[in-house]
Amino acid sequence: MDSIKNRRTIRKYKAQDIPVDLLNDMLETSFRAATMGNMQLYSVVVTRDPGMKAQLAPAHFNQPMVTSAPVVLTFCADFNRFSKWCRQRKAEPGYDNLLSFMNAMTDALLVTQNFCTIAEDKGLGTCFLGTTIYNPHQIIEILNLPELVIPVATITVGYPDESPAQPDRLPIKGIIHQEKYHDYTPEEIEDIFAYKESLPENRHFVEINHTETLAQIFTDIRYRKADNEAMSDLLKKTLKQQLFDK
Amino acid sequence: MDSIKNRRTIRKYKAQDIPVDLLNDMLETSFRAATMGNMQLYSVVVTRDPGMKAQLAPAHFNQPMVTSAPVVLTFCADFNRFSKWCRQRKAEPGYDNLLSFMNAMTDALLVTQNFCTIAEDKGLGTCFLGTTIYNPHQIIEILNLPELVIPVATITVGYPDESPAQPDRLPIKGIIHQEKYHDYTPEEIEDIFAYKESLPENRHFVEINHTETLAQIFTDIRYRKADNEAMSDLLKKTLKQQLFDK
């Protein structure tokens, strides 16, 4: 499991393409992930066409990986295929609700992580784009996703053309709880975040962003309350449209 | 990646315990998964105590793995720790919304799948309990989860005491779409589900359940519309309570 231990996000890729058979093999293996009731509540849209990548890019805030990676994969929560099958078999599906969407989202994300592990083991690099659920309505339109299909993760993948340093992680005692969740005291929070705050790159980050603390970079610049709330409202509208508007 | 290819859900475990160091090592490695802005928006509650397992069991519809596995792991979407840090650093967090919850859920599920891959590679067996989001309110109470912490996945893990057959999967052409989502024609649905419907175990399943079709086992017995909708309402209430009730 060295590839998991040594994993880095790769944002720069060689021009080298990914063979169709290799990609299909990796996807097929990823579909071995656990899935609720063996329903396989996901679909994967493969983007190789430069024109399609250019269309998708704005939905991902024009992060350059979307157009520079040989392959972009959009993993979708999908209750459409299963529901269509039900209807063809005199069975009335009842999966147009938030719970069922979250079941399908879970299925899709387990496959996404599986795919990344497999790809990295084969020497490929991946970048997970969290932007997928920021602008799902745009992606839905571009990829022609029908009702009951919602994009939940996008992966850019290709042969690495960089070898970045591995980012820090919080100490595991800050993440693992024994038997019950023990809520954090102020001292524990100090302790858990001390190493992250001490890193030269993070101190530099604070300096060039002219904030007082590292946390303010997150709350005031990167992931702001007002933006989150506006995007959250948009997400709710999109969920309503894809799930409930009968 | 043979362990991913050959993966089976393991529901029966030997009495053998999992050493603390091994479990911590596996969890630490799993935390290498991609995480939004390196915020690590998850916590893991480790359950080894038989009394705690017995308390958790009803939330998982008394599936026997919960009490018979040496270790039960509850993976939670967690914006509590990060928000507490923000507040201690003169930064006002804005993460009490659906989008932020889905960001944290994503982080948590990538770690969950990573953990399963690592555990299976080490010869352990896992079972993913989708029931976690059916009764999150019960789990929240039992595990003492504070605001902004929501359980999204439960894994039972232990040394395998069975070697079940590998379940079928749909043909990949039914899951992968090139460039755009091509919605399924009735003929394609027939084709995609033909193998699953032809399997002797599934035909037997239909027979003993006295349904006309395999799909009806899902819609009328296993995942019924009325149940899904009731649990979906409960999930919404729980989300509101953990995220929005200020």
> Minimal Cα–Cα distance from A197 to chain B, Å?
11
Both structure tokens of A46 = 């493969």
Distance (Å, whole) CA A72 – CA B95 = 28
> Minimal Cα–Cα distance from B168 to chain A, Å?
8
| Domain A2-165, architecture per CATH | 3-Layer(aba) Sandwich (3.40)
Q: What is the pLDDT of residues B133-159, one digit of tens each?
A: 999 999 999 999 999 999 999 999 999
Q: What angle do CA A210, A214, A216 make, to 5 degrees?
A: 70
Predicted confidence pLDDT, tens digits, chain A (246 residues)? 789 999 999 999 999 999 999 999 999 999 999 999 999 999 999 999 999 999 999 999 999 999 999 999 999 999 999 999 999 999 999 999 999 999 999 999 999 999 999 999 999 999 999 999 999 999 999 999 999 999 999 999 999 999 999 999 999 999 999 999 999 999 999 999 999 999 999 999 999 999 999 999 999 999 999 999 999 999 999 999 999 754
Q: What proportions of chain B, in percent to the nearest 5, are helix, strand and coil?
A: 55, 15, 30
Q: What is the pLDDT of residues B174-220, one digit of tens each?
A: 999 999 999 999 999 999 999 999 999 999 999 999 999 999 999 99
Q: Count how many residues are written for chain A.
A: 246
By C-alpha distance, which of B152, B108, B105 is closest to B130?
Answer: B152
Measured CA distances, B222 to A55, A136, A189, B214 (Å): 40, 30, 43, 11
Both structure tokens of A30 = 């990823």
Q: How confident is the model at residue B2 (pLDDT cuts 50, 70, 90)?
A: confident
Q: What pLDDT does A1 receive?
A: 74
Domain boundaries, chain A: 2-165
**pLDDT above 60: residue B246:** no
Output b/e per residue, A151-166; b: 16+ Cβ within 10 A.
bbbbbbbbbbeeeeee
Measured CA distances, A18 to A119, A125, A156, B172 (Å): 11, 11, 12, 18
Cβ of residue A47 closer than 8 Å to a chain B Cβ: yes
Are A32 and B7 inside 8 Å of each other by CB?
A: yes
Cβ of residue A199 closer than 8 Å to a chain B Cβ: no
ipTM: 0.98
Interface test with B, best of A26, A35, A46, A89 (most B CBs within 10 A): A89
> Minimal Cα–Cα distance from B120 to chain A, Å?
10
Cβ of residue B155 closer than 8 Å to a chain A Cβ: no
Q: What is the pLDDT of residues B56-114, one digit of tens each?
A: 999 999 999 999 999 999 999 999 999 999 999 999 999 999 999 999 999 999 999 99
Chains A, B: CB contacts within 8 A come to: 331
Interface test with B, best of A36, A223, A239 (most B CBs within 10 A): A223
Q: B129-132 — which CB contacts under 8 Å span 24+ positions?
A: B129/B60, B129/B63, B129/B65, B129/B66, B129/B153, B129/B154, B129/B155, B129/B156, B130/A36, B130/A37, B130/A103, B130/A106, B131/B59, B131/B60, B131/B61, B131/B63, B132/B59, B132/B60, B132/B74
How many Cα atoms are found within 13 Å in the side-chain-facing hemisphere of A114?
28
Interface test with B, best of A2, A3, A4, A65 (most B CBs within 10 A): A4
What secondary structure letter does DSSP report for A88? H
Distance (Å, whole) CA B54 – CA A210 = 52
Location of structure tokens 């595991």: A172
Asked if B217 contacts B209 with a C-beta cutoff of 8 angstroms, the reply is yes
Distance (Å, whole) CA A73 – CA A154 = 6
Output b/e per residue, A134-144; b: 16+ Cβ within 10 A.
bbbbbbbebbe
Asked if A105 contacts A78 with a C-beta cutoff of 8 angstroms, the reply is no
Measured CA distances, B15 to A55, B55, B70, B115 (Å): 54, 20, 7, 21
Asked if B44 contacts B27 with a C-beta cutoff of 8 angstroms, the reply is yes
Amino acid identity, position B220: D
Residues 6+ apart with CB under 8 A from B77: B41, B42, B101, B104, B105, B107, B108, B149, B150, B151, B152
